[in-house]
Amino acid sequence: MNTQTATTTKWAIDPTHSEVQFKVKHLVISTVTGTFKKFEGTVETENEDFSDAKINFSIDVNSIDTNQEQRDGHLKSDDFFSAEKFPQIVFASTSFKKVSGDNYTLEGHLTIKDVTKPISLAVEYGGTATDFYGNVKAGFEVTGKINRKEFGLTWDGITEAGAIVVGEDIKLQMNVQFAKQA
């Protein structure tokens, strides 16, 4: 009888080779891009191709950067993220399934402020490589879209002409590299 147990491989995000971006329409005519500068994440997998991996990710809300200090301050305020009360955005996976080739669907629960909702993200696995120092790295590009209002980010500004200042749909784009843990 074979009693071999699967071994779990743990990976941790490499923040120096990763970025977390979001894009939102401004006045419906242009797009504002922002980043979060501080985040952490882990992947635990029993499979070489990462299928069925367990993924956890958190973002420091106070690290938001839209290249405009006044706007960043507004985003941290109670009009949006309430960063003082809710300093973290958290994601925990419920499923990571291969669609075809290097394409996966990542599903999980996203928590912004005090609202947790299921979301689905598209993931492209970029491959695995060993760096100059012998560290094994795995790269992923993650994309998706959420409606900010569903997560309690409900502030609305309307110009004198009646134009909406901030769009509801937020495009997410993350290029992340994970380092295999010994």
CA distance 170 to 182: 36
Domain boundaries, the chain: 9-180
Alpha-carbon 103 to chain mean position: 17
Sign, CA dihedral 87-116-58-70, equals: negative
The position carrying tokens 């491959």 is 127
Going by pLDDT thresholds of 50, 70 and 90, the confidence category of residue 94 is very high
Asked if residue 158 has pLDDT above 60, the reply is: no
Asked if residue 164 has pLDDT above 60, the reply is: no
The pLDDT assigned to 163 comes to 47
Stated pTM of the model? 0.87
For domain 9-180, is the CATH number 3.40.50.300?
Answer: no
The pLDDT assigned to 154 comes to 73
Residues 6+ apart with CB under 8 A from 134: none
Asked if residue 110 has pLDDT above 70, the reply is: yes
Which pair of structure tokens corresponds to residue 11?
């990976």
- Percent of the chain at pLDDT > 70 equals 87
CA distance 142 to 36: 15
